[in-house]
Amino acid sequence: MFEIVFLGTSASAPSVHRGLSAQVVKHDEYRFLIDCGEGTQRQILQSGIGFKRLNRILITHGHLDHILGLAGLLSTFSRWEAIDELEIYAGKWALDRIHDLLFGVVLRGARPPMSIHLVEVRPGVIFEDAEFSVTAFPVDHRGADCYGYLFDEKSRRPFLAEKADALNIPQGPWRRDLVNGQVVTLPDGRAIDPEQVLGPARPGTRLVHVGDSGRTDNLRSVCQFADLLVIEATYMQEEAAMAADFAHLTARQAAELAIQAGVKHLVLTHISRRYRERDVLAEERAIFPHVMVARAFDVFQIKRDEFVQLAESGQLKDQPSASS
């Protein structure tokens, strides 16, 4: 299960209602800040997430509307926040610019308040633990080294308690070891193979995040059957030519990608100031019903067969309702 908290959802420049790109993906104790547009630290405070354990930052690309907030964040960390280590993942071009911003402008020779690891992203797995992995994949936008990120829970084989009961397997460590795929010997001397009590593998939850992008044909396979796709939709269909000129997407292109890839739910972000959310939705819901436009402080929980909005613009919902 993943959770995503939107912090900033505007393209290029902030609007009265929208801040610049930033969102946090959570999985158990892990938190990943994806992009850090100007003003992100105030959004973090307002969202109630806080800075604790916010020590991994994934950057989609080096345009200023996605990275300028890193300067303020580091400046604040240097005064009063206790984070021992900060990892910033980005493609090479973005990483060079971030290096200049943090070490050239913010620190200017001063000692960093914590160790800062600037990690160059290349396509492939960039983070992994027992439960899930994060994979970077290339995205085409203006300039080199743009990346999207796939959060992928590992598949699991469910423990079939009724089969275990039928085999008279006692409660306790034997069942735990069987869940972990080990052959066990019961107190009565019988050996039980995990195959006897485990069901077929069930794929884990998949969340795909795409920042700024000029095309979608190269994203189909990574988006395949994603439970949630979060993707930029800077323009509406009437300005498709402008979208192409600036290597951005229209909401229609995002919706078509979702259909082609069998995506279950689609959340659009990086919306141009010129549009109203309801107009974007009216245009796209006709072709892909499970689409939403992200607002600051929206919180979504994504499970394999369930997609729930926990909070809308920061207001906790009384009765979350599954929309699958």
Q: Which is nearer to Zn ion, 56 or 63 (CB)?
A: 63
How does DSSP classify residue 280? H
CB of 291 to Zn ion, least distance (A): 20
Q: Cβ 37 to Zn ion, closest distance in Å?
A: 8
> Tokens in use for 256?
């078509």
Catalytic-role residue among 28, 35, 65, 100? 65
Q: Minimal distance in Å, beta carbon 65 to Zn ion?
A: 4
**Among the residue ranges 124-132, 206-214, 236-244, 253-261, the one whose residues contact Zn ion (CB under 5 A):** 206-214
Distance CA 64, CA 191 (A): 61
Q: Does 227 bind Zn ion (CB under 5 A)?
A: no
Q: Which is nearer to Zn ion, 206 or 270 (CB)?
A: 270
Compute the least distance from the CB of residue 92 to Zn ion, in Å. Answer: 16
Shortest CB 246 distance to Zn ion, Å: 8
Please say whether the beta carbons of 70 and 95 come within 8 A. Answer: no
Q: Specify the residue, 212 or 283, whose C-beta has the smaller distance to Zn ion.
A: 212
Q: Rounded to whole angstroms, how far apart are CA atoms 134 and 128?
A: 6
Q: Does 63 bind Zn ion (CB under 5 A)?
A: yes
State how far the Cα of 276 lies from the Cα of 6, in Å rounded to an integer. 18
Q: Report how far apart, in Å, the C-alpha atoms of 24 and of each of 6, 31, 54, 292, 298 are.
A: 7, 7, 9, 17, 11
Residue 298 CA to residue 293 CA, distance in Å, equals 10
Rule CB under 5 A: say whether 212 interacts with Zn ion: yes
Cβ neighbours of residue 178 closer than 8 Å, sequence gap 6 or more: 159, 164, 169, 184, 192, 194, 197, 198
Q: Which is nearer to Zn ion, 178 or 268 (CB)?
A: 268
Which part of the chain contacts Zn ion (CB under 5 A), choosing from 208-216, 220-228, 255-263, 275-283? 208-216
User: How far apart (Å, rounded) are the C-alpha atoms in residues 179 and 286?
Assistant: 44
Q: What is 152-206 written as a DSSP string?
A: EEPPBPPB-HHHHHHTTPPSSHHHHHHHTT--EE-TTS-EE-GGGTB---B---E
141 versus 206: smaller Cβ distance to Zn ion = 141
**Beta strand 2-8 with 299-303: parallel, antiparallel or unpaired?**
antiparallel
Place of tokens 């109203």: 276
Query: Which one of the spans 26-34, 60-68, 274-282, 290-298 is the region binding Zn ion (CB under 5 A)?
Result: 60-68
Query: Whose CA is closest to 292, among 223, 244, 228?
Result: 228
35 binds Zn ion, rule: CB under 5 A:
no
Residue (63 or 264) nearer to Zn ion, CB: 63
Is 38 near Zn ion (CB under 5 A)? no
The type of residue at 199 is G
Question: By C-beta, is 152 or 212 nearer to Zn ion?
Answer: 212
Least gap, CB of 242 to Zn ion (angstroms) = 14
Which of these ranges, 40-48, 180-188, 205-213, 260-268, lies near Zn ion under the rule CB under 5 A? 205-213
How many residues make contact with Zn ion (CB under 5 A)? 3
Question: Which position among 65, 153, 227, 298 is part of the footprint of Zn ion (CB under 5 A)?
Answer: 65
Scanning 65-73, 163-171, 202-210, 259-267 for contacts with Zn ion by CB under 5 A, the matching segment is 65-73
Least separation in angstroms between residue 12's CB and Zn ion is 6
CB of 127 closer than 8 Å to CB of 135: no
Type of residue at 301: Q
Active site residue 165: no
Residues 6+ apart with CB under 8 A from 80: none
Q: Which residues bind Zn ion (CB under 5 A)?
A: 63, 65, 212
Residues with catalytic annotation? Answer: 65
